[in-house]
């Protein structure tokens, strides 16, 4: 998406759509060639899939996903406006920052994949704290040209991490029906994007472009509290199971 925005701002909207079409076609070819055949061995009934909705932790994970994407898009949706008005970047610099953001997102995919494999709980807990720190740096140093450039590099890495963290958090609670769990992830992440964009615009209209950073911090804090709640419930469940096994 940042690369598409870059082409739209730097060249034309037609080129941006053409770029999106080319990437989609390449993705289609890649899936067609490299995705292995995975025949269904045991078909799961709709009732069995829906049964995961009885899990309280799943709904907390859904809420956490809403908060994660709201935290990300409450601020990112107005990236160009912020760096244009607060950092005072011109159109060329804004386009370059969007390109940098997109490239660093690729790096973030690999970094956060490694972090999650190494320690999923710690990564999920620390992610919203990282995002709050980034937003505080933007709030404090966003009006300075060079510091903002450095922040964009870190911001792009963290932004892609949010997608992986959110999906991992939800799928950990939907192991019994992973396909249904993935559809829940897509649905609730889109809800988060819509809410974040709406709340971000409300902050801008009422408090100004500089103060709307606090909308992202607010959602990041809600994400942190949701993750802590899931972790606490999970640990309590493990303790009860351990005591039950001893008995």
- Residue 246 pLDDT greater than 70, yes or no: no
Range of the domain at 137: 55-242
DSSP secondary structure, the chain, as one string: -HHHHHHHHHT-HHHHHHHHHHHHHHHHHHHHHHSPP---SSPPPHHHHHGGGG-HHHHHHHHHHHHHHHHHHHHHTTHHHHHHHTS---HHHHHHHHHHHHHHHHHHHHHHHHHHHH-HHHHHHHHHHHHHHHHHHHHHHTTSHHHHHHHHHHHHHHHHHHHHHHHHHHHTT-TTSHHHHHHHHHHHHHHHHHHHHHHHHHHHHHH-TTTTHHHHHHHHHHHHHHHHHHHHHHHHHHHHHHHHHH-
pLDDT in tens, 193-242: 999 999 999 999 999 999 999 999 999 999 999 999 988 887 777 666 66
**Hey, which of 51-55, 91-95, 198-202 has the most confident mean pLDDT?**
198-202
* pLDDT the model gives residue 76: 92
Does residue 194 fall inside a structural domain?
A: yes
Q: Residue 224: give its domain's CATH number.
A: 1.20.1250.20
pTM of the model: 0.84
Please say whether the dihedral angle defined by the alpha carbons of residues 92, 102, 136 and 81, taken in this order, is positive or negative: positive
Residue carrying structure tokens 């770029």: 19
pLDDT in tens, 120-156: 889 999 999 999 999 999 999 999 999 999 999 999 9
**Residues 6, 77: Cα–Cα separation, whole Å:** 14
Domain count, the chain: 1
Does residue 3 fall inside a structural domain?
A: no
Does residue 11 fall inside a structural domain?
A: no
* pLDDT the model gives residue 3: 67
Does residue 169 fall inside a structural domain?
A: yes
């Amino acid at each position: 998406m940042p690369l598409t925005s870059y082409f739209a701002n730097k060249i034309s909207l037609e080129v941006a759509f053409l770029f999106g079409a080319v990437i989609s076609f390449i993705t289609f070819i890649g899936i067609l060639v490299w995705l292995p055949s995975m025949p269904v061995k045991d078909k799961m009934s709709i009732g069995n899939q829906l049964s995961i909705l009885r899990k309280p932790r799943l709904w907390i994970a859904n809420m956490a996903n809403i908060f994660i994407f709201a935290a990300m898009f409450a601020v990112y949706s107005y990236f160009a406006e912020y760096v244009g008005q607060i950092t005072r970047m011109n159109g060329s610099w804004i386009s370059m920052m969007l390109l940098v953001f997109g490239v660093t997102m690729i790096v973030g995919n690999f970094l956060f994949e490694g972090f999650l494999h190494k320690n999923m709980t710690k990564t999920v807990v620390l992610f919203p704290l990282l995002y709050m720190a980034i937003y505080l740096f933007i709030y404090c140093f966003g009006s300075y040209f060079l510091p903002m450039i450095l922040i964009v590099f870190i911001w792009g890495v963290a932004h892609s991490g949010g997608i992986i963290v959110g999906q991992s958090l939800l799928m950990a609670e939907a192991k019994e029906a992973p396909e249904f769990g993935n559809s829940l992830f897509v649905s609730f992440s889109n809800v988060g994007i819509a809410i974040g964009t709406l709340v971000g615009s409300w902050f801008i209209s009422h408090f100004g472009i500089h103060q709307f950073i606090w909308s992202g911090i607010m959602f990041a804090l809600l994400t942190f509290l949701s993750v802590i709640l899931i972790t606490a419930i999970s640990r309590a469940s493990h303790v009860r199971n351990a005591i039950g096994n001893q008995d």
